[in-house]
Amino acid sequence: MKTATREQTGSTIIDVTGDIDIRTSPGFRKTLLESLKNTPRLVVNLREVRYVDSSGIASLVEVFKEARNRNKRLVLFGLNATVHDVLQLTRLAKIFEIRETEEEALQA
């Protein structure tokens, strides 16, 4: 898994590539939590993520809770069917702010 960070329209965007699993989720979590410190809105691009396991979901939940505690926003976009299904099965799709495109995520 790789991440790239960029700034746009008062938001920090994290582009994620690869799988988010037990091996990569600690770095993923750290990147998101560090980025959250410096932005009112953290936008996570999951378009190039093929797979997310329970540790990846746990990382997203932890970042979501931290964002809520700091009165900040976490927005996910570009979920493929597999990743979206995992969030649906865990009933987290209703909790996370999910958008189809980067443009929608930045306007949310």
The first and second tokens of residue 53, run together, are 């396991």
Q: Helix or strand or coil: residue 39? A: coil
Structural domains of the chain, count: 1
**Which pLDDT does position 76 carry in this prediction?**
98
Tokens of 92: 């987290």
What is the extent of the structural domain holding 45? 2-107
Give tens-digit pLDDT for 48-95: 999 999 999 999 999 999 999 999 999 999 999 999 999 999 999 999
Q: pLDDT digit string (tens) for 94-104?
A: 999 999 999 99
Alpha-carbon gap, residue 40 to 68, rounded angstroms: 11
CATH number at residue 19: 3.30.750.24
